[in-house]
Structure 1
């Protein structure tokens, strides 16, 4: 067990931030700290005429790779609430104490969570995120960062592992994927993250974000907090929908239970029109 494993999470975070600042100082990179504690980023790194907001995360080592979480956590009366950083930060710096290594990732690359592989597995997928590709010294300054060419890699892997054909559009389309149906057709499919908030899995289902039913057939919702993929037909809701995982205080016949929307429960029978 690493000594840090016995630290409270907030102390571990402070220690990781101190190590990262020391590493940046050793590289003669200026570190600009905010004047108050209300900002969601830890500090700003300047480069030329640009300023990049940075959030530091402890990279959890798991033997064959490491995990960096891209959400903040706070507790209210309903339990733990997780929130992505999104536009509040430009980059994450993840530091792995076991490997004494530092990684730089764009916020859009992390989402709610990202796994960086350090050792080859039995099967290496084309969408595998290799830790060495994100090592800090290979990616600073940010102009050298190669942004990912594919979104929703975990979802793509889940579909392909289930033997489902997946095709990415070669031209700009309002959906993310074409997913093969059992009868040889295709479903236009949009991928979106889901967040566990107050006992529900919520995702941005507003019409101006997730295309309407004339432009996409299926919505795949990846909830990293529960490590579960959900499936909803786009014509099953108008503007927004949420999936309930906890019993509400009052009975409501309109509840959409999350377990009923789990991908394995719905594919393929429940999505046929």
Structure 2
């Protein structure tokens, strides 16, 4: 277990871990010279906007944890809010362009285009599946920040 993973898992609650995830993803972007713009208030469906080659991209940050299958991580692709009448679950279609994902178990950050995610969650593999499946696999290498940046000029915020 890395020092950052140990510190991360010691955080008291989901809100603190979420804030840490957002800070880590921002730091990874800023350290690569990517401008990060933060909304003035916390009512937007995105956490921040990044600018790459003059194009703006809305980013929602999520934490990924070990999936139920070995060699993979998973993150949720819907927001869940507690309401008086129960839980409200909403997707992000049309509201964001990318998910910024941090996984403490691998200490890695990813950028995932919204077009690549499922309706409720996404699994990213870092080891081959035990059953040998190689079709429709989301490999972690495809979502590392430096791999995604070159494709972003074709998906700007209007």
Indicate whether the TM-score tops 0.5.
Answer: yes
1:1-273 equivalence runs, <5 A: 3=6, 4-5=8-9, 7-62=12-67, 63-110=70-117, 111-121=119-129, 122-143=131-152
- Cα distance in 1 for residues equivalent to 2:144 and 2:56: 20
Aligned residues: 145
What are structure 1's unaligned runs of at least 5 residues? 146-273
Query: Which deviations, in whole Å up to 9, do the C-alpha atoms of 1:8-59 show, x marking residues without a partner?
Result: 1111110100111111111111111111111110111112231100011111
Distance 1:25 1:40, change over 3 A: same
Query: Which deviations, in whole Å up to 9, do the C-alpha atoms of 1:177-206 show, x marking residues without a partner?
Result: xxxxxxxxxxxxxxxxxxxxxxxxxxxxxx
Whether the aligned pair in 2 keeps the contact of 1:69 and 1:113 (CA below 8 Å) is: yes
Greater relative contact order (CA < 8 Å, ≥ 6 in sequence): 2
Q: CA deviation at 1:64?
A: 1.0
Secondary structure at the aligned position of 1:129 is classed as coil
- Cα distance in 1 for residues equivalent to 2:90 and 2:9: 23
Secondary structure at the aligned position of 1:88 is classed as coil
Q: Highest Rg: 1 or 2?
A: 1
Instruction: Give the TM-score, by structure 1 length.
Output: 0.49
- Cα distance in 1 for residues equivalent to 2:84 and 2:46: 25
Query: Which deviations, in whole Å up to 9, do the C-alpha atoms of 1:71-119 show, x marking residues without a partner?
Result: 1111123322211111110000111112111111111211321101111
What are structure 2's unaligned runs of at least 5 residues? none
Whether the aligned pair in 2 keeps the contact of 1:34 and 1:42 (CA below 8 Å) is: yes
Runs of 4+ in 1 over 6 A off after TM superposition: none
